[in-house]
A and B are shown apart, each in its own frame.
Chain A
Amino acid sequence: MNRAGLEEYGELAAEIKEVLIPAGALQQRVRELGQAISVDYAGRDPLLLGVLKGVVIFMADLLRAITIPLEVDFLAVSSYSSEARRKGLVRLEKDLGTNISGRHVLFVEDVIDTGLTLNYLLRSLWARQPASLEVCVLFNKPESRLIETPLKYKGFDLPDRFVVGYGLDYQEKYRNLPFVGVLKADVLKGHQR
């Protein structure tokens, strides 16, 4: 079981069972994705879109790995909270500030599991008539997929386990870990209300 690199994270580290993807491997893969995007989108002035908040760390590193001119914008959507459920359908809590009509849009996601949120967002974005719309995801959990979506760029396939770090949270914690780790089972149990 790999727990290398955990030492400096104190109380957060104590709640991690093991490191699944070390920080170095993440950085290397993000650089590779950035290089591929730089080649594929050269001369197309791409617009990278992300959904707050989980994508911010991946987006920040990916942007710096891309060597061509680009723009970036963010969305926020209601999560499946009791408040949102009362209002019915998922909805945008923060819309784009950019008109994407005719633009080459690359939708950047930190993790895709069921594909439910992604499906909703892609439907919403296609309605705005971009010239192209592709998906770049860092963490893919194919075993959890309910709604299939083509992924143009993919970082890692993750096993069916509850993971945190590098933007992925559990109850808003652990996003700041530079690696991806598996939470201890008793943390999940202990936090349930």
Chain B
Amino acid sequence: MSLSEHRHPKFAHSAEETFAQILDFYGIEWEYEPRTFPLEWDEHGTVLEAFAPDFYLPSQDLYIELTTLRPKLANYKNRRVRRMQELYPHIHIKLLKRREMRDLMVKYGLYDSANQIQGTGAQPKGEL
């Protein structure tokens, strides 16, 4: 999928849309939240918790989860990624941490996007 060729997915965060645009720029095929992985079930087999990584890159067979949250609040997301790796060891997933996201935005000259990552309501503005 690319933003220019397919319908515009409804991204949960502007950083995800920016990330998709960067992938498009470099001609990397992607899918947005294509699959949900159950993480926890009750005794009847009903799914209690599930996880849908943000992106899937078919050429790399890689799922990518982005986080723009400050480290303390990202722990929940980290735990879910670790749990997914335990339950689905054959699935490749990478968590792009907040600092990695910020550096990615700075690298591509997206200073406003980098500032947004720093300045979300979840974290003190200006903290790196």
Same complex for A and B? Answer yes
Interface residues of A (CB under 8 A from B): 79-82, 84-85, 88-90, 113-114, 116-117, 119-120, 123, 143-144, 146-148, 160, 162, 170, 185, 188-189, 191-193
Most chain A beta-carbon neighbours within 10 Å: one of B23, B108, B111: B108
The range of chain B's interface size is: 20 to 34
- B25 beta carbon closer than 8 Å to chain A: yes
Nearest B residue to A185 via CB reads B128
CA distance A117 to B21 in the complex (A): 14
What residue in chain B is nearest A191 (Cβ atoms)? B111
Task: State whether A89 touches B104 (Cβ < 8 A).
Answer: no
Given contacts A80-B22, A116-B28, A189-B128, contact A147 B60 (CB under 8 A): yes
Closest residue of chain B to A120 (Cβ to Cβ) is B26
CB neighbours of B4 from chain A (8 A)? 88
B123 within 8 A of A: no
Tell me, in angstroms, the Cα distance from A148 to B94 when the chains sit together. Answer: 12
**A188 touching B106 by the CB < 8 A rule?**
yes
Residue B77 interfacial (CB < 8 Å): no
Closest chain A residue, CB of each to CB of B19: A146
Closest B residue by C-beta to A114: B104
Which of B's residues lie within 8 Å of A, judged by CB? 4, 21-28, 57, 59-60, 62, 64, 94, 97, 99-100, 103-104, 106-112, 114-115, 126, 128
* Bound complex: CA A82 to CA B113 (Å): 13
Q: What is the minimal beta-carbon distance from A62 to any residue of chain B, in angstroms?
A: 23
Choose one: B23, B25, B62; the contact of A85 (CB below 8 Å). Answer: B25
11 A-B pairs with CB atoms under 8 Å apart are A82-B109, A88-B25, A89-B26, A119-B28, A146-B28, A146-B62, A160-B99, A188-B106, A188-B128, A192-B111, A192-B114
B57 to chain A, nearest CB (A): 7
A192 touches B115 (CB 8 A): yes
Are the CB atoms of B107 and A85 closer together than 8 Å? no
Across the two chains, which residue of chain A brings its CB closest to B62?
A: A146
Please, which residues of chain A bring their CB within 8 A of the CB of B24? 88-89
Given A189-B128, A193-B111: A90 and B26 interface contact (C-beta under 8 Å): yes
The 7 closest A-B CB pairs, nearest first, are: A80-B108, A116-B26, A185-B128, A192-B111, A193-B111, A120-B26, A90-B25
Q: Which of A123, A162, A185, A192 lies at the interface centre, i.e. has the most chain B CB atoms within 10 A of its CB?
A: A192
